[in-house]
Amino acid sequence: MSDIFLPVILMLENDPDDRFITSTVFEEQQYQAHLEFVNNSKGLFAYLDQCRLSNLSYPAVILINLNITPIDGREVLKQLKANMDYRHLPVVIISDSNDPKIARECYTLGASSFIQKPDALSRTNEKIHHFFKYWFETVVLS
C-alpha cells in the first residue's frame, strides 16, 4: 500500500525527546498511518495550507504540545478553530499540566481531547500506545 493513501497524524512538537518517543512507539505498533512532525505554528499552518492549495487530504488528527513556543498550544488551537478551512480537524492537546482549568480551557477552545503527559517512560509508551489504539481502532477518521 502506498503512503499517499495512509492517513496522516500531524504533531506540533519541538522537543526531540518527545518526538523520538512518539515515533518509536508509533513504528513499533506498525499503525497504518503516516506520522509527520512540525516544529512550530508556522510549520503547522504551512503544512495545512499546502494540503488545501494542492487539494491533498488534511491530517486525520493534529497533536499539539500545549507548551510549544513562541505561540503556545492554546493560541494555535484558537487560530485553527477560527479558520473555516481547518476548524473541522480533530485537535488533541498534550500537556505536562494536570490542572483541570487548563484542560477545560482547551475543550472550550475546541480541542477534541486533552492528554496529560505521564511522568515515567514506561507509562509514556503505554499512554502513546493507548492513544493511537483509540484513534485508529475506535474513532472514525475522515
- Residue 46 has a CB neighbour count (10 Å cut-off) of 12
List, for residues 73-96, the tens digit of each pLDDT value: 999 999 999 999 999 999 999 998
- The answer to whether residue 139 scores a pLDDT higher than 80 is no
Taking alpha carbons only, the member of 5, 33, 16 closest to residue 131 is: 33
**Domain 3-137: CATH class, spelled out:** alpha beta
Residue 2 confidence (pLDDT): 43
- Residue 132 has a CB neighbour count (10 Å cut-off) of 19
Q: Where are the domains of the chain?
A: 3-137
| Average pLDDT, integer, range 102-116 | 94
Residue 142 confidence (pLDDT): 62
- The answer to whether residue 71 scores a pLDDT higher than 80 is yes
Residue whose cell numbers read 472514525? 140
- pLDDT cut 70: percent of the chain above it: 92
Give the list of residues 6+ apart from residue 78 with CB closer than 8 angstroms, or none: 109
List, for residues 44-70, the tens digit of each pLDDT value: 999 999 999 999 999 999 999 999 988
